[in-house]
Each structure stands twice: as C-alpha cells, then as structure tokens.
Structure 1
C-alpha cells in the first residue's frame, strides 16, 4: 500500500517542489532600442531646465562669451515685486484665453458645418486649411500689411466705417489685431481635428438618437460632445503650447503700440566731412560719438565709416 502510494504519479507530482518560471527581463528588446533616444530627449529637456534655474540666480553677460555672475535672489525678488512683470503675465493670460477660446468655438462650429456637407467637402476643407499651411512669420507680415494705416485693406475698411486711427498704433487695437491674426491662422487646425473626431462617431448611434426623438441640441450635448471629448482635449493641448506664435513673429506683440527707440550706450553720432570732400579725391569721413548719460557703464564701442 505504501509502495503503491509512493509510486503514484499524482502524489509524486504533489511532492515535487514547484519549479519557478524564468524571469522576464524588466527592459525588453524594444526598451533597449528606445533607450538612446530617451536619453537624448531627456538631456535636451533637462539640461536647458537646469540652465534656466542657474540663470535665475545669476546675472547673465553675453559680451565676450556667456558669463554668469551670482546675484542670489535678486531676480526672484524683482519677479514678484515688479508691476510690469505682473501686467505682462495678466496680458499673456488674457491673450491665451481669447485666442484659444475663440479658436475652439469657431473650430467646432466650422467642423459641425463641414460634417453636414456631403458634396464638395474636400474642396471646402482644402480652402479652409490654407491659413494653417502658411508660416507664422508670413502671417505676421501679411497682418501688418493689411493693417497698415497708409495702404492696408483693413485700415481702409475701418476708415470707411468711421475709425481713422492707426490699428497698430495703440495698445488696445494692436492687441485685438494680433488676437485675430492668431485666430485666423489656427482655427482651421481645431476644425480639422474636430472633423476627424466627428467622423469617428458611429452613425448607428446618431440614427438611434434621432429615432428616439433627440433633437439637434440634445444629440450634440449627450452624444456628439461626449464621444469627441478626448479629441477636443487633444486639440486644446496642441494649441496650449503655441498660442503666441503669430504675436512673436508679427512684430506686434500684445502690448504693441507706437514704436519706441531702444536704449543704447551711445546717445548720438555725428558725421563730419572734411572741407575738401567735393574734390576729385574723396577723403574718408569721420564720426564723432559721445556717450550717453545713463548711470550704468556702457561697453566699449565706437563709430566708423
């Protein structure tokens, strides 16, 4: 009996110690292939971030090479106490809310209209995407020409409506012009992404909602918007990182107004010609420069012909 129990295959298997399965490597072949690229991307992201942190505690000098002079918390104190800095932040937030908000509303509306078009949708979509294909610098230059007070088309239209001022000459109108330029360029992107999301909504679900008596607004609220919410989030995140491309390239930032002369280490230069400058052998002209009266010392500079 004991011999039979010992020779039983079932009891023998139960008595044997369970063998462990071989461990799978934590980083597979795909992970090892992606490691160099991930390290490169991490270096490109972390190194500039650390450099910015170091610069925030230093005074950066660019003449004769990059040099950092440690100033402690001076820059941070100025950051939290400077009124101009807070106004710039407020202006940037308002600019972001206006541009992204208008682009989302207009883009969704245009996508809903295009989704109902059956014939000629591709032609309309191609015409709609033309502003998006232009470079931001081209859009900025085009906007400046159209809003020029002398020969601009938009300036002429506003003059015919009773507004005779310079569009880019005051902060309020320049802010509105740059916002509209950004909206004109990037609304087609939101419309394209939203149209792709609308194409993924099952037609059977919409037909079932129509059979149950759901109107256009109810179908839009309870079926279409929940179905494309992730797509709209992607569009919002994409526009989150580029809301000021046009304002940077247009030469008219949101705080634009009448152009001012930049400060310089030289307050002026005059050119002095010799008495015999009208002779057959022209002589070299001379420049005379005098330093500005600013309190900060100016770097070494000079004038020449």
Structure 2
C-alpha cells in the first residue's frame, strides 16, 4: 500500500537531490545539450576558499539573528497584549494578521516603493527627521530596510502561534498567582513564558528554517545590493545558478544551505523534546 507513495517521494525529492549532488562534483555544460564534466572536489574546494561566499554567509547570519530575534520578541509581546485585551480582541487580531497575508514578492515591491527617494512615503518621513540619503543606496540602511520588511511581514505569525499557546495557560494557576500577590512581570516571567516555551520553540523552528533561505523581499528590493550589502547565501545561490549559469558551484551552495538548515532545525527539535513533559 505504501509503494506508490514511496515512488512519488523518490520522484519529487530523492531524484532531484541525487542530481544536485552529482552536479556538485561536475561542471555543467548547457550548449549543445546538457552534459556533466566531472571536476572532482573542485567546487567544494572553491566554496571553502571563496571570500564572497564567506561574506554572504556572514550576512545571512546577521539577517537571521536580527529578523528571527525581532520577530520572536515583538510577536510574543503583541500576543501578550492581545491575550490581556478584554474587548475587540478578534478585530485587533484580524488587523495584526494582515501583513502575513501579503505575498513576499508584493511585500518587497511595496517596501521598495515606500522607501523610494523620489516619491516614497517612508523616505519623506525620514527627511522630516533629518535623513536625506537614499535608503536603498546606502549599505547600512538597505540592510536595515530589508530586515524591517521581513519583521513586519512575519511578526504576526509569531504572535498568532504565541497567542494560541497563551490560551492554554491554566486560569487557576494565574488566579493563584494573583492571590499570592505576584505582579504582572513576575507572572509573565515565572508562569506564562515557561508555560508557552514549547510553543515558542515551534514558532522559532518555523521562522529559523525560513529565514536562513529567505529570498523574495531581498531580491525584489535591493537585488543583493548596494555593493553586495544584502547579498545573503540564497541571493548568491540564485545569481550563481541563473545569472552566471555555474550550476556546479550553485549546487554546492545549495547543499551547504540544506545542511545548515537541517542542523539548525535539529537543534531546535532537541530543545523542544527537552521541554516536553515526561510521562
């Protein structure tokens, strides 16, 4: 009974993976038909000696820490605010979730228009407070802009997951804490946050896997510029494969990205297993 499903899995997952592994040890020729020329470990040697790749991964790490950290902090704070809201919670939640329903490509285009130095609303607001530069032309502000766009779009997801966890906190425990004189901060620190820690780890796992390979917003706003300031590993992978048609080296980058994502995911899964109550 499972044979058809296994065949489909092999067709859509294992065969493409095997092809990528084969290309990582080859030079791919496209003219005159697809042809693979074996180059041994040359692509892998190039990967670990390429300073551009090292910088791309450094930018990916910075992007990962800023976006995921910001989303977790803001999303959890917003979820707590909604949890304590007595009226109009559903209306507030509906408004909060709107950015999450915007396609990442559209979010990138929207961000580019809003920060345009000629007619962008955000550029105009920045001029009112004394900043007259072009946001997307400066390396620091461009990186900050794409980071904030990611945080704007995916913070609602963290808030939604955290709010679901908050709804499962036993009211009897909260009432007992109130009777014991525990204030809001102590209740949050010692009762609420430990109770929803497994849920927050799930949210962290989801966003971590996505942030490590995020592409849409960066490509549609800066294209990896200016001066490669926003060229993360995913952007470099795209350019290597579809701008320079170096599929062998792109395959190596893709496999490294898969390995890093798997390691990070496994780390958070192990943390989640430790948080699960023993039976």
For normalisation by structure 2, the TM-score amounts to 0.76
2:36 is the alignment partner of 1:68: yes
Q: 2:180 maps to which residue? A: 212
2:49 is the alignment partner of 1:81: yes
Deviation per CA, 1:260-304, whole angstroms, max 9, x where unpaired? xxxxxxxxxxxxxxxxxxxxxxxxxxxxxxxxxxxxxxxxxxxxx
Structure having the larger proportion of residues in helix: 2
Q: Distance in 1 between matches of 2:215 and 2:203?
A: 16
> Are 1:136 and 1:249, in contact at CA under 8 Å, matched by a contact in 2?
no
Q: Distance in 2 between matches of 1:210 and 1:87?
A: 51
Q: What is the SS of the residue equivalent to 1:68?
A: strand
2:225 is the alignment partner of 1:256: yes
User: How many residue pairs align between the two structures?
Assistant: 226
- From 202, 221, 224, the equivalent of 1:234 is 202
Structure having the larger proportion of residues in strand: 1
Q: 1:55 maps to which residue? A: 23
CA RMSD of aligned residues (A): 1.8
What is the CA-CA distance between 1:205 and the residue it aligns to? 1.1
Deviation per CA, 1:229-266, whole angstroms, max 9, x where unpaired? 1111111111122222443452425x42169xxxxxxx
Q: 2:127 maps to which residue? A: 159
- From 58, 68, 72, the equivalent of 1:90 is 58
> Are 1:147 and 1:154, in contact at CA under 8 Å, matched by a contact in 2?
yes
Q: Quickly say closer, same or farther: Cα 1:80–1:163, change in 2 above 3 A.
A: same
What is the CA-CA distance between 1:189 and the residue it aligns to? 0.4
Stretches of structure 1 that go unaligned for 5 or more consecutive residues are: 1-31, 260-305
Deviation per CA, 1:103-140, whole angstroms, max 9, x where unpaired? 00000000000111111011111111111001111101
Structure 2 matches for 1:117-132, cutoff 5 A? 117-132=85-100
2:114 is the alignment partner of 1:168: no
Q: Quickly say closer, same or farther: Cα 1:135–1:36, change in 2 above 3 A.
A: same
Stretches of structure 2 that go unaligned for 5 or more consecutive residues are: 229-279
Q: Quickly say closer, same or farther: Cα 1:246–1:183, change in 2 above 3 A.
A: farther
Q: Distance in 1 between matches of 2:34 and 2:139?
A: 35
Q: Quickly say closer, same or farther: Cα 1:245–1:116, change in 2 above 3 A.
A: farther
Q: Quickly say closer, same or farther: Cα 1:154–1:136, change in 2 above 3 A.
A: same
Q: Quickly say closer, same or farther: Cα 1:233–1:111, change in 2 above 3 A.
A: same
> Are 1:181 and 1:246, in contact at CA under 8 Å, matched by a contact in 2?
no
What is the CA-CA distance between 1:164 and the residue it aligns to? 1.4
Q: Distance in 2 between matches of 1:222 and 1:44?
A: 46
2:220 is the alignment partner of 1:247: no
Q: Quickly say closer, same or farther: Cα 1:234–1:215, change in 2 above 3 A.
A: same
> Are 1:107 and 1:187, in contact at CA under 8 Å, matched by a contact in 2?
yes
Q: Distance in 1 between matches of 2:67 and 2:29?
A: 35
Q: What is the SS of the residue equivalent to 2:37?
A: strand
Q: Distance in 2 between matches of 1:179 and 1:57?
A: 34
Q: 1:26 maps to which residue? A: none
> Are 1:182 and 1:246, in contact at CA under 8 Å, matched by a contact in 2?
no
What is the CA-CA distance between 1:63 and the residue it aligns to? 3.4
Deviation per CA, 1:66-94, whole angstroms, max 9, x where unpaired? 32111111111110111111000100010
